[in-house]
A and B are shown apart, each in its own frame.
Chain A
Amino acid sequence: MRYLPLTPADRHEMLGVIGAASIDDLFVDVPDAARLDGPIHGLPMHASEMAVERHMTALARQNMTAGDGPFFLGCGAYKHHVPASVDHLIQRGEFLTAYTPYQPEIAQGTLQMLFEFQTQVARMLGTDVANASMYDGSTACWEAIGMARRITRRGKAILSSGLHPHYVSVARTMAKYTGDALVTATPTLTADTDIDTLIAQIDDDTSCVVVQYPDILGRIADLTPLADACHAKKALLIAVVTEPVAMGAIRSPGEMDADIVVGEGQSIGVGLQFGGPYVGLMGCKDKYIRQMPGRFCGETVDADGRRGFVLTLSTREQHIRREKATSNICTNSGLCALAFSIHMTLLGEAGLRRLAAINHAGACRAADRLSRIPGVRLVNDLFFNEFTIDLGKEARPIVRALADKGILAGVSLGRLYPAADALATGLVVAVTETTSEADVEALATALQEELA
């Protein structure tokens, strides 16, 4: 059956009401030059399926994918090994949905998986509770800022200079509409984080301090003094974890008394996949659960006393509370959360700790090797699997030159902070279990040639 919502008579009547002679009259504000008057210029007409496939394959061959050569990119998205078993399991028909359950209680398996996910996330982040996931790390970070506003009834959030600039820009976009004031800053190429500056900035109007751990340059700080300073002013501490594998090696933010901990779960079970879809992690202290956004899965018993699962505390959510909901998000990243949960289950605590140790050891070897290159200075010697080096000259063209040689050397800070000249010489280098010693050697050799 064809779906024809409007007849020509309907259209004519509607146009008459608004005083337009034709549909084209509605587009008079679009300049003539910008209007399409025929086939799209420069785009060839249809071709056979085989010809298109051949063409597209040739185009795709021009890409350099993460697995094609030495790869040191990080800054919020990490190349980790995803075991084949993860992909196999997530594609089982019982699981395969990208989405949150809308008739949840009939899907007990899905709910149990979400419950396991929440348990894993809460234990990993060191929080009392965790939700069933958010879109990604950056939106989870914004949701935490909104949550702090509702709890403290204050509207000023202080964002650490070490917070990922993309997370800052998501917060800025959202704050434009909520009216939250954001205090932001640009990092410096030093080993010390800005914890002391943040502590000095907290006042009686501050809703929260948002700090990334490890931060955008890979630096790690004890968050305890910052948490104490926040609590002394009745503000909340929000910690952002963009590399959850780090939680296998360093203290979780929750253990350092952070009130809300959010993160990007991509590192565990989810591939880089061109920047998304990813999966946001979010946990908090028990007392703030009513102000948390997103879905919660809870454990209960049925009429016969058997263990079962339900979506719970739904009165926080949009479909019940409408405009008074804690967030307009009442969904979760179902499939990515499943991949995270399966990988975490395969790893277990011991496996996660071993994986973290391998990452850290590899990063230490790479940092040692790279800092032996004349002209290279290691900015932070305290890091997990990612550190920053100062090349002494602009990093961006050097990264480009190395890419032309098939080596993705890292994320240049000039790319993340195009307006900050002082950061132009910085290069953030990430090392994971997928990085071989030969990769590090290839990077070191090529970098030395470029800098010579």
Chain B
Amino acid sequence: MSRYFTEDHEWVDVDGEIGTVGISDYAQGQLGDIVFVDVPEDGKQLTKGDEAAVVESVKAASDVYSPVSGTVIEGNSALGDDPSLVNSDAEAEGWFYKITLTDTAELDELMDESAYESFVAKL
């Protein structure tokens, strides 16, 4: 399994054709206490760059853009009861949705973990 990042601070873990999407630990730190997450429903078709989810903190409401194209197979329902999971565990338990990728070549345009680390270091 490999992990990719976008410049908008989303991450996607890819296992075969299934991707799991969330926002980075850096992003959750910038947002502050997260109070609400709106995740996409099963079956929603997304094109890379589409608004896929909304994350709302005490500071701001932000859109989450899909790092890859595909069909959503599951939204993380745990975030409905406990949106603070995104704060406590952004890159694991705080995932937003799982998606079936339509084009794995899109991953080539994303950053790997070390590239993202140097990207964030420059911000």
Contacts and interface: CB of A to CB of B under 8 A. Distances in A.
A290 B36 contact: yes
Interface in A311-331: 315, 320-321, 324
B41 interface: yes
A290 B37 CA distance: 11
Nearest to A316: B61
B56 interface: yes
A153 interface: yes
Contacts of A315: 36, 56, 61
B73 to A, nearest CB: 17
Contacts of B13: none
Interface string B60-84: 0101000000000000000000000
Nearest to B56: A315
A165 to B, nearest CB: 35
A286 B7 CA distance: 36
A290 B38 contact: yes
Contact of A321 (B36, B41, B61): B61
Interface in B30-55: 36, 38, 41
Contacts of A153: 41
Contacts of A321: 61
B42 to A, nearest CB: 12
B21 to A, nearest CB: 20
- Which of B36, B38, B61 has most A Cβ within 10 Å? B61
A324 B61 CA distance: 10
B100 to A, nearest CB: 20
A320 B36 contact: no
A320 B61 contact: yes
| B contact patch SS | strand
A320 B62 CA distance: 10
Where chain A touches its partner, the secondary structure class is: helix
Contacts of B41: 153
A85 B51 CA distance: 52
A290 B83 CA distance: 14
Nearest to A314: B61
A153 B38 CA distance: 14
A320 B61 CA distance: 8
Nearest to A320: B61
Contacts of A320: 61
Nearest to B35: A315
Q: Which of A153, A315, A321, A324 has the most CB of B within 10 A?
A: A315
B77 to A, nearest CB: 13
A290 B36 CA distance: 9
A290 B80 CA distance: 12
B103 to A, nearest CB: 25
Nearest to B63: A324
Interface string A215-241: 000000000000000000000000000
Contacts of B63: 324
Residue from B36, B38, B56, B63 with most neighbouring chain A CB atoms (10 Å): B56
A315 B38 CA distance: 13
Nearest to B58: A315
B36 to A, nearest CB: 7
Contacts of B61: 315, 320-321
B14 to A, nearest CB: 27
B9 to A, nearest CB: 19
B81 to A, nearest CB: 12
A128 B36 CA distance: 19
A237 to B, nearest CB: 21
Nearest to A321: B61
Contacts of A290: 36, 38
Nearest to A153: B41
A154 to B, nearest CB: 12
Nearest to A291: B38
A324 B41 CA distance: 18
Nearest to B54: A324
Contacts of B36: 290, 315
Contacts of B38: 290
B86 to A, nearest CB: 16
A183 B94 CA distance: 42
Nearest to A287: B80
Interface in A259-313: 290
A330 to B, nearest CB: 14
Contacts of A324: 63
A441 to B, nearest CB: 60
A330 B38 CA distance: 21
A3 B115 CA distance: 57
A315 B60 CA distance: 8
Interface string A142-184: 0000000000010000000000000000000000000000000
Given A290-B36, A321-B61, A324-B63, 6 more contacts: A153-B41, A290-B38, A315-B36, A315-B56, A315-B61, A320-B61
9 contacts: A153-B41, A290-B36, A290-B38, A315-B36, A315-B56, A315-B61, A320-B61, A321-B61, A324-B63
5 tightest Cβ-Cβ pairs between the two chains A and B: A315-B61, A315-B56, A321-B61, A320-B61, A290-B36
